[in-house]
Structure 1
Amino acid sequence: MRQLRDDTHLILDGEVRVYRRERSKRWQAAFVIDGHTIRISTGKRDLAEAKEYARDTFLEYKFRHKNDLPVVTKKFSDVAKLAIADMRKQLDASLGRKVFADYIVCVERYLIPFFGAQYVTTIDYEKVQQFYEWRRAKMGREPKASTLNTHNSAMNRVFEEAVARGFIAHKNVPLLVNRGEKSERRPDFTREEYATLIRKLPSWIDAGKAGKPTDMRHLMRDYVLIMANTGMRHGTEALNLRWKHVTLFEEKDLQYLEMSVSGKTGRRDIICRSGTINYLKRIHERSDDIRHVPFEDLLKQPVDLPVFRLPDGTVSKNIHQTFRKFLTDTGLITCPRTGQNRTLYSLRHTYATFALLNDGMDIHALAVQMGTSIGMIERHYSHLTPRLKKDMLTGKRYELSRDEFEDQHAISE
C-alpha cells in the first residue's frame, strides 16, 4: 500500500486525495474519473474548507461522466493551437487543403482574441451571437457570405479537434449560421474595354521612367495578358508558377501550351489560349540569366525559376500597384456595371465571361480549368444566362466559318 505523507488526507473512502505541495500554503486535490487523473487546486488554506471544495468538485466530475459530458475540458485557445498545429503539419506535408492557410489566419486574428480564455464547453448560442457583434465592429462592416463561410469552417475545425480529444461532446458543439450578404457581381472587362486596355498598354509603357519602372510595366503587361488568357488566380498560383511547370505538346499537328498551377485548391493543369506563348517568350527574352537558352529548349528542362520575374531575376509582389496605376491613368479603373474598382482579379472574371459568352465553353469545363466548383460558376455568372441562350430564346440558329469564329473570339494581344 502506498505510504502517504503526513500532509496528505483521504476523503470519500479514499477516492479523493487532498494534499499540500512543498512551500505551498494552499491545498491541492487529486482523483481519477474515467481513467483520467484530475488534479486541481482548491485555493483554500484551511483543511476543512479544502476537503469540502475537493468533495464538491469530485461529485461534479462524477456527474459529468455519468451524463456523458467531457471529464477533461480545455480553454478555446489551447484547442485552437492544437488545431492550428495539425493544419500546419498537413500543409507542410502537402496533404492539407490550401484553404487551411485561410483558416489559420481566421483563428489567430478573430477566434482566439474573442473566445481564447473561455472553455470550449461554455461556448453556446449566446456567446456565438456576441462574437458576431464583436467581429462586425472589428471589421467595420458586415462580412460577406464567403467570409462567413471561411470563419465558420475555421471554427468548426477547432471544435472537431475538441471533440476528437474528448474535450467536448459533439452534441454540445454550437450551430454556426451564415447570414452574410451575398457576394456582389465581380468587376470584369467587356470585349471593347479589354481591347482598349491592350491598345493603350504599349504607349503607357513607353511613357515610364527608364530602368526598373519600365521593367515593371513590361512585366505587368505580360502578367495581365497571361492572367486573362489562362484564368489562373492572381497571387499564389501566379507566384508559384515556375518554368518547369510550363509544357508545350502537340496533338494532331496542333501545338498546345499547358501550365501546372498550384494554389488555393491544390495543383491542376490548365490549357492556355494560343497567344499566351508569345507573352512567355517576351518574359524569357528579357531574363538575363536564361535568354541564351532557346525558348522551346527551356521548356524541356526542369528549370526551377519563377516565370514572373524582372530582367535581373527579382520577383516583385507589386504588380497589382502597377496595374492599378495603369487603370487609373487610362480611365479603366472603375467598372461601370458594378461601380467597383477593377483589380488583377478582374482578369480572372474576364476570362470566365469570355469563355462562357464567346467560346461557348460549358460550365463543367470552365470549373475544371479555373479550379473552382460548378456551383461557384453558376452563382457568380448566372447573369450571363440570357446571353448564353440568346440564340435559343430568339429562335436564331446559324453557324460560323472557322475564320469568323476565330475573329469573334480571339482575346489575345
Structure 2
Amino acid sequence: MSKKAQTTVVLREKELFLVSRAGTTSWQIHYKVQSLNKWLRKSTGTTDLKQAKQIAEDFAADTRAAERRGFPVVSKKFKAVAEVVSAKFKEQIKHGTGKKKFADYYRAIDQYLIPFFGNFNVDRITPAVLNEFDIWRYERIGRRLKQSTQNTHNLALNTVFDHAIESGYMTEFLRPKYKNTGEAGEARGFFTHDELIALQQHLQKWTTEGRSQATRDLRELLCLFVAFVASTGVRPGTETKELQWRHIEFLEKDHSRLIHIHLPQGKTGARKIIARHELWPVLEKLRELQPAFAKLTLDQLIESKSSEYVFRMRSGERPYSFVNVFGDGIRAAGMLTNGKDTQERSLYSLRHYYATQRILEGYTYEELEAQMGTSAEMLQKHYNHLSVLMIADKLAGKTPSSKEGGTQDAEILKYMNPAKANMMGLIALTTGIHIPLQEQNPSAAKELAQELLTNSKRKV
C-alpha cells in the first residue's frame, strides 16, 4: 500500500489502517498479514471513528491469533476455489498439455463437488461434511459408485484443497481425510465371437417384432451400432454421440482404402482412429437409412463433409442413448451373462470384443494404445490372459494342407486370420454385404489363387 487516501487513519504504520472512501459511510479496515504478505480489507460496519478503531484492533488481534494456531486468515467459498481449479484443468486439456485424467477431474468438480460443497467455506469442510456428501451422492445416483470413481472424486477434491492451501484460504492442518465406500470394480462381461454372432442374429429378428415403426427403426439402428463399435473399439456413447459424417474420410494407401475417423469428443477428449476396411458396409447401411442421401454414393457422402449425425433413424431422429434398447435386446436374447458367472454384458463389452480380436490377430498393446485411447499398461492388465491364445497355432500344430488330407477350405484358412474372419462374418451378418478376399487382402488372394492352381495341376 504505497499511497494513503486523505481519509486514512493510521493505527499502526505499514500494518493497520482505517479508510473512509467516497460513496461509502462505514470505515474500512486495511490490515497486512505479514506471513502472507497480503493486505486484507474488511468493513467495520460503523461511521463512528472510535468504534471503528476498536473493531480494527480486535480484528487484527484475532487474525494474529489465527495465524499462530495454524488457521487460515482468509476464507473463501469452495465454489470460488474449485472453479479456478476446474478452469485450469480444462485449459490444459484444450491445449493438449494436461494428462488424460484431468478431464475426469474437472467433470467430478463440475458435476459433483461444486453442486454439494459450493456454499461451504473451503476451510470448514470436515469429515462430517464428507459423510453427508457420500450420502448425497448415493441418493442422487441411486447406487454406490465403484472404488475407482470415488478415487477420482477424492483426487479432484484434493487438488481443490491444494490450491486453497497455496492461496492461504486453508491450512494443511484443516485438510480432511477422505474415505472410499465403493466396492472394487468388477470386470464387465465379454462376448466370444459365436456369442456375438448369436446376439446379432437375435437382434435382427427382434427388430421385426417391434410394435411401432419407431421401435423397429431404433432396433434397426442398434444392429448397425453394435457392428460399428465391435469393429472400431470406440467407447460407445462418449465417442459416438457427436459423430458426424464430416468426421469420416477415406484414404488410399498401398492399393487399399483406409477409413480415417476423427472422434470429436470422448473420455480423453477428441482423438483420431483408423477403422478396419470391413467397416465400410456398415457405413453404407447407415447411409441408406437416410432418405436425403438416397442419390449419393458413400464416397460422395464422405466427400460432401455433411454435418449430419451418423447415427440417425430413418425418421432422422437421433436416439438419446443405445443403453436401454441394448439392455432390452440382450435380456430378450437371454444373454445378459454367459451363464457361467454373474458378470453382466453391456455396450462396453463390444469394445472388449474388438480388443480381444485385435490381440488374437497379433497386435501389440503398444499398437492398440493410440487406437483405443487406453494405455498399453492398462490394456495388458485387462487382456494378459490372452497370451496363451496368441501362440495357439504353435501349441496345437498347423492346419493340414489339402494334400495331407485336408480340404480346399483348409487352404483358404491359411490366408484368413481367424480374428479377421470373425469380423468379416459379423459385418456380413449385420449388413448382408460380403467383402471378397481379393478386396480384403489382395496379396493373400493372389498367393492363394496360385497355390490352388498348383495343387490342381498336381492332381491332374
Partner secondary structure for residue 238 of structure 1 = coil
**Structure 1 pair 22/261, CA: closer, same or farther in 2 (3 Å)?**
closer
Measured in 1, the distance between the counterparts of 2:312 and 2:350 equals 19
Shift of 1:39: 1.5
Partner secondary structure for residue 266 of structure 1 = coil
RMSD value, Cα? 4.0
Shift of 1:228: 0.8
- Is 1:204 equivalent to 2:199 in the alignment? no
- 1:269-319 CA distances to partner (integer Å, 9 max, x unpaired)? 323334321111011112111231111222233222211112243222142
User: What does residue 403 of structure 1 align with?
Assistant: 413
- 1:108-134 CA distances to partner (integer Å, 9 max, x unpaired)? 4542355434443455xxx2x435433
User: What does residue 362 of structure 1 align with?
Assistant: 364
Shift of 1:396: 1.9
Shift of 1:185: 1.0
Measured in 1, the distance between the counterparts of 2:173 and 2:207 equals 61
Measured in 2, the distance between the counterparts of 1:316 and 1:96 equals 32
1:136·1:143 contact (CA, 8 Å) conserved in 2? Answer: no
User: What does residue 31 of structure 1 align with?
Assistant: 31
Q: What TM-score do you get using the length of structure 2 for normalisation?
A: 0.73
Q: Which amino acid aligns with 1:206?
A: T
Worse overlay, 361-370 or 282-291: 361-370
User: What does residue 133 of structure 1 align with?
Assistant: 131
**Structure 1 pair 210/23, CA: closer, same or farther in 2 (3 Å)?**
closer
- Which residues of 2 match residues 10-89 of structure 1 at below 5 A? 10-13=10-13, 15-18=15-18, 28-33=28-33, 36-42=38-44, 51-59=53-61, 61=63, 72-87=74-89
Identity %: 30
Q: Which amino acid aligns with 1:211?
A: Q
Measured in 1, the distance between the counterparts of 2:230 and 2:97 equals 30
Measured in 2, the distance between the counterparts of 1:100 and 1:143 equals 19
- Is 1:192 equivalent to 2:191 in the alignment? no
Q: What TM-score do you get using the length of structure 1 for normalisation?
A: 0.80
Measured in 2, the distance between the counterparts of 1:391 and 1:93 equals 44
User: What does residue 287 of structure 1 align with?
Assistant: 290
User: What does residue 404 of structure 2 align with?
Assistant: none
Measured in 1, the distance between the counterparts of 2:114 and 2:268 equals 26
**Structure 1 pair 220/88, CA: closer, same or farther in 2 (3 Å)?**
same
**Structure 1 pair 396/334, CA: closer, same or farther in 2 (3 Å)?**
closer
Shift of 1:352: 2.1
Measured in 1, the distance between the counterparts of 2:86 and 2:170 equals 18
The unaligned stretches of length 5 or more in structure 1 are none
Shift of 1:237: 0.9
Give 1 or 2 for the bigger CA radius of gyration.
2
The unaligned stretches of length 5 or more in structure 2 are 400-410, 430-460
User: What does residue 453 of structure 2 align with?
Assistant: none
Shift of 1:327: 1.3
**Structure 1 pair 302/235, CA: closer, same or farther in 2 (3 Å)?**
same
- Which residues of 2 match residues 120-269 of structure 1 at below 5 A? 120-121=122-123, 127=126, 129-140=127-138, 142-162=144-164, 165=167, 167=169, 180-209=182-211, 211-262=213-264, 263-269=266-272
Q: Count the aligned residue pairs.
A: 403
Q: Which amino acid aligns with 2:416?
A: E
Shift of 1:21: 8.4
1:26·1:43 contact (CA, 8 Å) conserved in 2? Answer: yes
Q: Which amino acid aligns with 1:134?
A: E
Partner secondary structure for residue 136 of structure 1 = helix
Q: Which amino acid aligns with 1:181?
A: E
Worse overlay, 33-42 or 209-218: 33-42
